[in-house]
Amino acid sequence: EVQVLESGGGLAQPGGSLRLSCVASGLEFSSYAMSWVRQAPGKGPEWVSAITGDGGDTFSADSVKGRFTIFRDNSKKTLYLQMNSLRAEDTAVYYCAKGSAASRPYFFDSWGQGALVTVSS
Amino acid sequence: EIVLTQSPGTLSLSPGERATLSCRASQSVRNSYLAWYQQKPGQAPRLLIYGASTRATGIPDRFSGAGSGTDFILTISRLEPEDFAVYYCQSYADSRTFGPGTKVEIK
């Protein structure tokens, strides 16, 4: 059974930084693209960033481009999201989502339980 | 970028009734790369349907998807108590856009 588990959420001040981690199990990790998807309170999901299975290509939504960096360590089956210059509007539950393939097109067939990130002074 | 519109915003139905949810795209979704997810309060989204009509592993056959181009439908043939939730469509062709969701609530 595929499982993904996020960690690293918490409270950050505006302009601050946080790093999220996501450990995967039950799969050949490098064979699948991975993404971060966030959901602000009372809102629908918003895709944030994605990375191909081999880590060679990354993609980010305009709302986080230049501030957030997605990367992975396939030897540790771990996905990361480095979040810098945080803003209040980044407050959300951040989900780690497994893609159905190594590169696009893919849908999200496994999700973690989510990590809450709160940006507030 | 494709914009997805879902209707209705809220669907009030009783257990045993049929639910029909609509997802409309602002431009044609290439190769019907359209997925549906179910989300219950406090939980992560769960994949129901991909490729517009293929059920994901373990999804009951009361859930069905149809459509192509710009118009897609998710049907729940007979609502079970556990089906009351929010449903999102997502285009995964050239973007990763999610729709705003349809809440299926108990009437």
In tens, the pLDDT along B1-36 reads 899 999 999 999 999 999 999 999 999 999 999 999
| Contact partners, residue A46, CB within 8 Å, separation at least 6 | A37, A38, A39, A40, A61, A63, A92, B98
Contact A44 B101 (CB under 8 A): yes
Q: How many CB pairs under 8 A join A and B?
A: 49
Q: How far apart are CA B85 and CA B70, in angstroms?
A: 24
For position B1, what pLDDT does the model report?
86
Contact A114 B92 (CB under 8 A): no
For position B95, what pLDDT does the model report?
80
Q: Helix, strand or coil for residue A30?
A: helix
For position B45, what pLDDT does the model report?
98
Least trusted range by pLDDT, from A101-110, B34-43, B63-72:
A101-110
Q: How far apart are CA B46 and CA B40, in angstroms?
A: 9
Q: What is the pLDDT of residues A74-113, one digit of tens each?
A: 999 999 999 999 999 999 999 999 999 999 899 999 999 9
B51's tokens: 């490729």
- Minimal CA separation from B104 to chain A, in Å: 15
pLDDT at residue B94 greater than cutoff 80: no
Contact B92 A111 (CB under 8 A): no
Q: Considering only CA atoms, which of B99, B42, B84 is closest in space to residue A44?
A: B99
